[in-house]
């Protein structure tokens, strides 16, 4: 994934901003920082073992990626879930990932098949273990590996950015709205189609899988947003 450039200080290269960025990414991924939560600079700095300045550099980069937002005289907050945004992310993924599959088949060799097989087996293992966050990471690796077999560099960069936004902003929502068994079956269909070099079947499998995941997550997010509003109304009525 793309990261902020390392900064120069007193003529020497410093990776403190990068260290802070990667540390905050990890916290976001594992929901140690939650949507809507105010970010306390000093707490982050203490946890990451850096000063406040690198933390602010990292937060500015995350703001650029729309993961956090800055409110004047208040500070940074983690952006809340937005069903419309996640729907657009998946719609873009469907267009991008399906479009490059013809090149994936054209460039496919036995090594590529084995690469995807390993990521499929890793995902299957995480499902069996009930490792929710591990499953998210292995799912991403499966799809990114499939896309990388196309050797389309620009499309891969775009996909990287989509994954960054998806996993940093929505990892909590992806876990609690997941459909692991269905996804595992659909991954198997994708892998089998690839191994048989059946382009039409592969395109259909990838498109259907991403569409199913999108619909499931968005529907659940919509229900969660409604429930949160109802809970807030009930609380304010007390």
Reported as a pLDDT band with limits 50, 70 and 90, residue 195 is very high
Instruction: State the chain's maximal CA–CA distance in angstroms.
Output: 65
The residue among 51, 82, 78 whose CA lies nearest residue 173 is: 82
Instruction: Return d(Cα 213, Cα 135) in angstroms, integer.
Output: 14
pLDDT for res 14: 56
- Who has greater pLDDT, 37 or 170? 37
The CATH class that applies to domain 83-226 reads mainly alpha
Extended beta strands in the chain, E state: 7-9, 12-14, 68-71, 75-78
Per DSSP, the residues of 10-30 read TTEEE-HHHHHHHHHHHHHHT
How far out from the chain centre does Cα 35 lie?
14
Tokens encoding 198: 């059946």
Bridge partner list, 76: 70
Q: What does the pLDDT average to over 100-109?
A: 97
Q: Where are the domains positioned within the chain?
A: 7-78, 83-226
pLDDT for res 86: 86
pLDDT at 218 over 90: no
DSSP category for residue 149? T
Kindly report, residue by residue over 155-182, the tens digit of the pLDDT.
999 999 899 888 887 776 665 555 666 7
Q: Tell me the CA end-to-end span of the chain in Å, nearest whole number.
A: 46
Q: Collapsing DSSP states into helix, strand and coil, what is residue 125?
A: helix
Instruction: Return d(Cα 183, Cα 179) in angstroms, integer.
Output: 6
Kindly report, residue by residue over 124-140, the tens digit of the pLDDT.
999 888 888 888 889 99
pLDDT for res 177: 56
- Who has greater pLDDT, 161 or 222? 161
Kindly report, residue by residue over 57-67, the tens digit of the pLDDT.
999 999 988 88
Instruction: Return d(Cα 220, Cα 222) in angstroms, integer.
Output: 5
- CA–CA distances in Å: residue 214 to residues 29, 84, 89, 218: 19, 11, 9, 6
pLDDT for res 105: 97
φ and ψ at 5, to 5 degrees? -70, 145
Kindly report, residue by residue over 43-79, the tens digit of the pLDDT.
999 999 999 999 999 999 999 888 899 999 899 998 8
Of 3.40.50.920, 3.40.630.30, 1.10.10.10, 1.25.40.10, which CATH number belongs to 7-78? Answer: 1.10.10.10
pLDDT at 228 over 60: no
């Amino acid at each position: 994934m793309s990261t902020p450039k390392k900064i120069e200080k007193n003529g020497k290269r410093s990776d403190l901003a990068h260290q802070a960025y990667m540390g905050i990414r990890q916290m976001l991924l594992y929901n140690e920082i939650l949507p809507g939560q105010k970010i306390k600079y000093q707490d982050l700095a203490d946890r990451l073992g850096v000063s406040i300045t690198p933390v602010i550099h990292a937060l500015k980069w995350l703001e650029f990626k729309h993961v956090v937002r800055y409110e004047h005289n208040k500070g940074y907050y983690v952006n809340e879930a937005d069903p419309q945004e996640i729907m657009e992310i998946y719609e873009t993924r469907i267009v991008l990932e399906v479009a490059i599959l013809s090149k994936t088949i054209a460039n496919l060799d036995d090594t590529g098949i084995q690469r995807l097989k390993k990521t499929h087996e890793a995902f299957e293992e995480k499902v069996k273990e009930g490792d929710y966050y591990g499953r998210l990471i292995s799912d991403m690796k499966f799809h990114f590996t499939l896309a990388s077999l196309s050797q389309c560099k620009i499309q891969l960069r775009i996909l990287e950015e989509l994954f960054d936004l998806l996993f940093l902003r929505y990892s909590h929502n992806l876990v609690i709205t997941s459909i692991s068994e269905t996804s595992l079956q659909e991954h198997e269909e994708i892998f089998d189609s690839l191994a048989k070099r059946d382009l039409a079947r592969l395109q259909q499998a990838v498109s259907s899988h991403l569409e199913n995941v999108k619909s499931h997550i968005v529907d659940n997010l919509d229900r969660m947003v409604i429930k949160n509003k109802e809970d807030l109304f009930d609380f304010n009525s007390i």
